Amino acid sequence: MPQMGVSVAEGTVVEWRKQRGDWIEADETICEISTDKIDTEVPSPAAGRLVEILVQVGVTVEVGTTLARIATDARPGEAHDVEGARPPVAPADGTSDGARPSPGARDPAPPSPPRPAPARAPSAAPAPARRGSPARRYSPVVQRIADEHDVDLDEVEGTGREGRVRKQDVMGYVEARGGVARPAGASPTEPTLHIESPYRPGAGASLHGPYTPPEGRPLSRMRQTIGQHMKRSQETAATCTTWIEVDVSRVELARKELGITALPLIARCAIGALIEFPLLNAWLEGDNHTVHEQVNLGIAVSLGEDGLIVPVVRGAQDLSPEGLSRRIRDLARRARARQLSPDDVRGATFTLTNPGQFGSMMATPVISQPQVAILDVEAIIKRPVVVTDQFGEDAIAIRPMVILGLSWDHRALDGAVAARFLASIKKRVEGYEA
Amino acid sequence: MTEMTYLRAISDGLRTEMRDDERVLLMGEDIGVYGGAFKVTDGFIEEFGPGRVMDTPLAEAGIVGTAVGAAVVGLRPVCEMQFADFVACGFDQIVNVAGKMFYRQGLPVNITVRLPGGGGFSGGPFHSQNPEAWFMHAPGLKVVAPSTAEDAKGMIIASIRDPNPVIYMEHKNLYRRIKGEVPEGSYETPFTARVAREGTDLAVITYGAMVHTALDATQDLDGASIMVLDLRSLVPLDEQAILDAVRLCSKVVIVDEANQTCAAGAQVAALIAEFAFEDLDGPVVRVASPDVPIPFSPPLEAVVLPSVDRVREACRQLLEY
């Protein structure tokens, strides 16, 4: 179990990508693991043959535990115990002319049907020679077309220089074969022509009988982890929530000019306020109170129904709104592609959550421990508000407004500081200058 | 539509834009009273006066530097380098001043620098070069190189209107040799590539005078269907058009009249290697001038510059591959 980031102590095997007996290249993914921070792929430390899997799917082990053994003295393509146990297989058709005439159990050629070989494996098996010609090499486009149409390039007559197979040769071969060589329904990508109707006779009957709920399943690992963290926070912190209403006219103008969303601009204002009120940029662990100078901004990223993850923009105080926007987008993209490293989600000193994109107006977010506050940015909605002009005259104007909600830990600070912090954000947002 | 030479089309574009926009002025050596070494600005000083058609000293750094200043205060100068080769004297003003002014100070430098380039008439090493790649390597500049009369006019107008410094490569060997129908009035040709001839077996990618060489070389090549892609703009480079051509044809010949090393075609070849690898059915082939000065001697020059025969032979070899 590799050390995936400094704080990770244990991990669970989620899936084995390779099975016993498979050949694996160095850095090819051997299995997937899940830690309390993140799900990730494990690259193979060496090339060789997977001879033993020691930790089965679903089992959690400590960092440093051996997951599997790889025989590094094995060679790709050579017989091994798993293949050797299979019954002897006939050699590939027509390729053995001139070869040793004893296609038996010890034949070094790969068995048929063809096994998917690793793309870059240095092939130790004899290269298929055609009519005594030297080993053929194919251009990238020819290989791609052959792969897409499942063509054995040994079968294709080459018309290029020295019998080279050209693009038009392989395309001509595919066209000539079209419909004849390929048995009906053989293509796995063929879409079904009809979608089965969901209607079932008699389904309505269940409305009258006793209700039979569908079978329950254990909560996903991610949901369990989120649940534990959130529950622990509610049991630990003395959480209060304070709201403030902010006019975002200037931010809206600036973000349109920059071609980015409002979030990084509001984040920039919040970072300014955190520098002014460092009590909000802090950790409280028991009685140990750490106030940070650097702002490591956690950004909650929804992963749909699976859950959410909070990647961290480190050193956010040094970034412009455009820089923040780029970092947030990059982290969100990698989060959704499940490509975050454990260190991408560690060390947040303050968290921003932004569920307002769906139109919600207020929330009481839960603080991510051991931080002492979390800022919730809700939907930007145009509202009539009272504005005062330069002569002190009041008027009603239509302005884009947002409600910012701050959940804060009463153990670490008091309501006055929280309110002043929010007022500082409001001042920065309403007076925003690019 | 009027039929005119490539050279007249440039004049027509300059005149049209000067009539439409009084911020446009011309600067260069002998462009006024004499009408320009190649007569591109013949008659301009009579129409627009010496205030807008300025004869300058033989000092390219001074021409470009003055133009940058004029652009910063809101004018749209068009500088003529008498021969593209002479631009080396104005290099610092273009690369370090014009190209970086917007980055450093937010001031757009709306200048156009016309570079009559290219060989084919025994002009020798100081009057035949194709220096476009020097400027492709410097951030902040655009580089365009039209090959037809219609594009020559549309691109000089687009260059003048573009807020960036634009290096406008005009090929001397096209000036009077190439004629074409040119629309009346004002129009802009976009800085994108143009398919000069459709084809599916092989694509020749080139620009400027070599577009015509490529068209001649592949007019009838054993019945093969050969695309000729005219890049027209080198910065920005129309990467999509290049990759589309490779995906369609799978075989590519890239032709530069410039010296081979680090020429515009080298960038095209690198792009194809990186983003169209899986569509290639043969090596990316380049035809360019070898890395030598352009000779005065007519037979030697004919050997150095990419000829119709060389391009045809390269295409034939690749088709057979």
The answer to whether the Cβ–Cβ distance between B280 and A166 falls below 8 Å is: no
Question: Do B173 and B236 fall into the same domain?
Answer: no
How is residue A125 annotated by DSSP? S
In 3D, which of A179, A184, A233, A175 has the Cα closest to residue A371?
A233
What is chain B's alpha carbon radius of gyration, rounded to the nearest angstrom? Answer: 19
Q: Which structure tokens are listed for B205? A: 């990618």
Where a domain ends, among A23, A41, A71?
A71
More confident residue, B43 or A116: B43
Question: Do B226 and B97 fall into the same domain?
Answer: no
The ipTM is: 0.72
The CA distance from B209 to B221, in Å, is 20
Residues composing chain B? 321
More confident residue, B281 or A87: B281
The residues, ordered by sequence, that sit 6+ positions from B212 with a Cβ below 8 Å of its Cβ are B147, B174, B178
Q: Is B122 on the interface with A (CB under 8 A)?
A: no
CATH number of the domain enclosing A260: 3.30.559.10
- Nearest-Cα distance to chain B for A45, in Å, is 28
CATH number of the domain enclosing B59: 3.40.50.970
The residues, ordered by sequence, that sit 6+ positions from A196 with a Cβ below 8 Å of its Cβ are none
Number of helices followed by number of strands (H, E) in chain A: 8, 18
Q: Which structure tokens are listed for B145? A: 């190189």
Mean pLDDT of B216-221: 94
* pLDDT, tens digit, 9 for 90 and up, residues B291-321: 999 999 999 999 999 999 999 999 999 999 9
Of all residues in chain B, the percent with pLDDT exceeding 70 is: 100
Q: Amino acid letter at A66?
A: T
The answer to whether the Cβ–Cβ distance between B321 and A161 falls below 8 Å is: yes
In 3D, which of B3, B41, B4 has the Cα closest to residue B25?
B41
Question: Do B173 and B218 fall into the same domain?
Answer: no
* pLDDT, tens digit, 9 for 90 and up, residues B176-193: 999 999 999 999 999 999
Total domains in chain B come to 2
Which of A141, A160, A166 lies closest to B278 in CB terms? A141
Q: Is residue B51 part of a domain?
A: yes
Mutate to test the interface with A, among B200, B252, B275, B281 (most CBs of A within 10 A): B281
Where a domain ends, among A20, A49, A71?
A71
**What 3-state class would DSSP assign to A397?**
strand
Question: Do B72 and B204 fall into the same domain?
Answer: no
Q: Known catalytic residue: A414?
A: yes
Range of B290's domain? 194-320
What secondary structure does DSSP assign to B109-165, as a single string? ---EEEEEE--SSS--TTSS--THHHHHTSTT-EEE---SHHHHHHHHHHHHHSSS-
Query: Each residue of A309-347: b (16+ CB within 10 Å) or e?
Result: bbbbbbebbebebeebbebbeebbebbeeeebebbbbbe
List A297's β-bridge partners, or say none: A313, A350
The pLDDT assigned to A295 comes to 95
**CB neighbours (10 Å) of residue B247?**
14
Q: Which structure tokens are listed for A327? A: 């970092």
Q: Give the position of tokens 């506050």.
A: A373
Question: Do B127 and B274 fall into the same domain?
Answer: no
Alpha-helix runs per DSSP H in B210-320: 210-217, 239-249, 264-275, 298-304, 308-320
**What 3-state class would DSSP assign to A202?**
coil
The answer to whether the beta carbons of residues B71 and B49 sit under 8 Å apart is no
Q: Identify whether A126 is preceded by a cis peptide bond (ω within 30 of 0).
A: no
* pLDDT, block means (10 residues), chain A with 434 residues: 74 87 86 81 86 88 88 68 43 41 41 41 41 69 89 88 89 76 38 58 63 86 89 94 95 89 92 95 93 94 86 93 92 87 90 87 92 94 92 94 95 94 95 83
Where a domain ends, among A46, A71, A96?
A71
Where a domain ends, among B151, B182, B213?
B182
The CA distance from B77 to B70, in Å, is 7
How is residue A144 annotated by DSSP? H
In 3D, which of B43, B52, B50 has the Cα closest to residue B77?
B52
Range of A260's domain? 237-430
The answer to whether the Cβ–Cβ distance between A140 and B279 falls below 8 Å is: yes
* pLDDT, tens digit, 9 for 90 and up, residues B110-137: 999 999 999 998 999 999 999 999 999 9
Q: Is residue B282 part of a domain?
A: yes
Q: Is residue A88 part of a domain?
A: no
- Nearest-Cα distance to chain B for A166, in Å, is 7
Q: Is A163 on the interface with B (CB under 8 A)?
A: no
Q: Is residue A335 part of a domain?
A: yes
The CA distance from B255 to B265, in Å, is 7
The answer to whether the Cβ–Cβ distance between A161 and B282 falls below 8 Å is: no
Question: Do B227 and B126 fall into the same domain?
Answer: no
SS3 content of chain B, % helix, strand, coil (to 5): 40, 20, 40
Total domains in chain A come to 2
